[in-house]
Chain A
Amino acid sequence: KQEVTQIPAALSVPEGENLVLNCSFTDSAIYNLQWFRQDPGKGLTSLLLIQSSQREQTSGRLNASLDKSSGRSTLYIAASQPGDSATYLCAVSGTGRRALTFGSGTRLQVQP
Chain B
Amino acid sequence: KAGVTQTPRYLIKTRGQQVTLSCSPISGHRSVSWYQQTPGQGLQFLFEYFSETQRNKGNFPGRFSGRQFSNSRSEMNVSTLELGDSALYLCASSSGRGAYNEQFFGPGTRLTVL
Query: Is B a genuine binding partner of A?
Result: no
